[in-house]
Chain A
């Protein structure tokens, strides 16, 4: 059964206050050189069917449920497989 990974990230133009909080926490820790952090979500879906069908179903679910396309971009790929662009 294919495992599909869906990565969801806030769109670049959307403020990510959690990422900014992590950057300031890093400086409190004495860590330097990390200038930007963006926080997103990773979903792992075990899907019936062949790889192509699983990818298509995951892409549909990402668009309808896992991501909110108003504020988030997503990428869909097979676990361990090459990274594939799922949405702009």
Chain B
């Protein structure tokens, strides 16, 4: 039986369909979860996709954090369920305090939409075990609020514990501290990143198929 990966749709989510597709390409079964759901239907992992949940009102991710499904996601993550937050999903995970730090307006104020090279800084997470350490991958970036910031002590902790998962390798698109594109929690099962691996799973539509390994990694994390 193939693994079942939940993909949450909030009002304003945009990339849930591509996340479903990436899960299918990896050989798993995508399960649609709605923001108002009170249970996770027994899925083996959860993806929070990109977009503008609740219109980004107040702050990106600030309202989504209080949705019924997020209560379930936070509980399940604390019990060890792998969770991946992509772009707006990363913002939601930071607002929900499952990941440290925050995402703020890009340093240049411009919305950035381009393919970026990332370096996989650690393969010791539920979502990156399928990569080679230090591997560089080409993945699209598209956001206006992707500048990762955190207190100096938090950054030092992330670096010391090797919890910076992805770093911009050839130029920093948004002014993120330490060129950080993605981080994980202490359990290494909750990962958030601003770039979009789900848009890099098919040579016809993406710049590479480098994103597939994220969705494959979580399958081995669970078997």
Contacts and interface: CB of A to CB of B under 8 A. Distances in A.
B109 A15 contact: no
The B interface, classified by DSSP as helix, strand, loop or mixed, is loop
Contacts of B109: 17-18, 21
A14 B108 contact: no
Q: Is the interface of A mostly helix, strand, loop or mixed?
A: mixed
A68 B105 contact: no
A15 B174 CA distance: 12
A7 B59 CA distance: 15
Interface residues of B, number: 20
A70 B59 contact: no
Q: How large is the interface on A (under 10, 10 to 19, 20 to 34, 35 or more residues)?
A: 10 to 19
Given A65-B62, A66-B58, A17 B105 contact: yes
Nearest to B95: A68
The list of the 5 closest CB pairs from A to B, nearest first, reads A70-B102, A71-B102, A17-B109, A17-B105, A68-B102
Interface of B: 58-59, 62, 66, 94-95, 100-102, 104-109, 147, 149-151, 175
